[in-house]
Amino acid sequence: MTNIKDLAKMAGVSVTTVSRVLNNHPYVSEEKKNAVLEAIKVSNYFKNINAVHLSKGKTQLMGVVLPFSDHPYFAQLLKGIAKQALENNYKLVLIQTDYMERRELEALQMLKQKQIDSLIICSRTCDLSTIEEHLQFGSIVLCENIKGKKASSTFVNQYKVFFDALEYLYHKGHKKIGYCIGRKSGANSHNRELAYREFHEKYSLPYHPEYIIDKCLYFEDGDKVINQINKLDKPPSALLVTSDQVAAGIVICCQKQHISIPDEMAIIGFDNEPIAKMMNITTIEIPLLEMGKNLFLQAVNGDITNKELSVKLIERGTV
């Protein structure tokens, strides 16, 4: 590949002159400028952007850590981030983790090595302390309540959202309420479980660990949920389902098995995806596009802020 020295030689000028031409510096004679431009044309020279990044210390690349890119929740979040990235002339580097810690560590390593300018972690497995150790290398933004820590975040108060939804079902007459989540570990799931326990204490209801069904991520998991519930002696009469996709799968499965909704089984979904509207599913709207936008801006901005977004219960036909 032609380098700046080759160009200088071809044009019969100094390396400094070539550099000035490449960077549109004003003090270059027309004659020398043309000689350099001709050399660029002949040699098909183009800047290696890595050299630019090296000298500027910036890449205009932002890393996005997410467990699955094909899950509607993360796809929507990514869409919100991508829209802002585009408007701000950033490209996104996708780090799909399948919740494997070493892949998260690779993302942090990219930040350390300046391959990316900043990092958005949509969901994590690694310790918060590991993340904090990397804050010296660039901004890192998270999707969970980490107020008081040194990183930024945009989040929904999962404890409050869960507690409110449980109370809503309780006031609709439900005493046996179960819930479906993606995974049992993770900060959000911890807060949800806490809300679930404290709700049962507040209303002196018996606590059924078998009412908590995990590994529910996709539409097709709806079948699994109903099959699991069918095996219980005392099945729940209502379900909080942390994904509209799964909620829709449950609704379809109930239809097939002639389980009447909401009489025999009430369902609240999460996110207010289009499928929830179309299938008339009561759901909790999470502003995922706004969340993505905010995460991006926090990552670029670099100030440490923690922003809580509010949610909205959309009442439809499944409760």
Stretch that binds a copy of itself, among 145-153, 166-174, 175-183, 247-255 (CB under 8 A): 247-255
Helix (H) or strand (E) holding 94: strand 91-96
CB 201 → a copy of itself: shortest distance, Å? 37
Q: Pick the piece of the chain touching a copy of itself (CB under 8 A) from 126-134, 182-190, 216-224, 232-240.
A: 216-224
Q: How far is the CB of 89 from a copy of itself (least distance, A)?
A: 9
Q: Using CA atoms, how far apart are residues 79 and 112, in angstroms rounded to an integer?
A: 26
Q: Which stretch binds a copy of itself (CB under 8 A): 20-28, 40-48, 181-189, 227-235?
A: 40-48
Determine which residue in the list 78, 246, 266, 299 makes contact with a copy of itself, applying CB under 8 A. 78
First to last CA, the chain: 66
Residue 287 touches a copy of itself, criterion: CB under 8 A: no
12 binds a copy of itself (CB under 8 A): no
Structure tokens at 173: 């007459």
Rounded to whole angstroms, the Cα distance separating 141 from 18 reads 40
Based on CB atoms, which residue is closest to a copy of itself, 186 or 292?
A: 292
d(CA 162, CA 195): 6
Does position 92 interact with a copy of itself (CB under 8 A)? The reply is yes
Q: Which residues contact 109 (CB under 8 A, 6 or more apart)?
A: none
Nearest to 180 by CA among 232, 222, 131, 151: 222
Which one of 59, 158, 282, 306 is in contact with a copy of itself (CB under 8 A)? 59
Decide if residue 220 touches a copy of itself (CB under 8 A): yes
The answer to whether 24 contacts a copy of itself (rule: CB under 8 A) is no
Using CB under 8 A as the binding rule, whether residue 95 contacts a copy of itself is answered as yes
Type of residue numbered 166: L
Are 149 and 132 spatial neighbours (Cβ–Cβ below 8 Å)? Answer: yes
Identify whether 262 is preceded by a cis peptide bond (ω within 30 of 0).
Answer: yes
Site for a copy of itself in 97-136 (CB under 8 A): 103, 110, 112-115
Residue 5, Cβ density class (10 Å: 0-12 exposed, 13-18 middle, ≥19 buried): exposed
Check residue 317 for interaction with a copy of itself (CB under 8 A).
no
Least distance in Å: CB of 76 to a copy of itself?
A: 6
**Residue 268 interacts with a copy of itself (CB under 8 A): yes or no:** no
| Least distance CB 245 / a copy of itself (angstroms) | 9
Number of neighbouring beta carbons within 10 Å of residue 149: 16
Closer residue to a copy of itself (CB): 150 or 175: 150
Choices 88-96, 121-129, 149-157, 176-184 (CB under 8 A): range interacting with a copy of itself: 88-96
- Smallest separation (angstroms) from a copy of itself to the CB of 212: 23
Count CA within 13 A, CB hemisphere, residue 41.
6
| Residue found under tokens 């996005």 | 64
Residue type, 37: L
- For residues 118 and 8, what is the distance between their CA atoms, to the nearest angstrom? 36
Q: DSSP string of 268-308?
A: EEES--HHHHHTT--EEE--HHHHHHHHHHHHHH----EEE
Q: Name the residue type at position 292.
A: G
Summarize as ranges the residues that interact with a copy of itself (CB under 8 A): 1, 46-51, 53-54, 57, 59, 61, 64, 68-70, 72, 75-76, 78-79, 82, 86, 91-96, 103, 110, 112-115, 218-220, 222-223, 249, 252-253, 274-275, 277-279
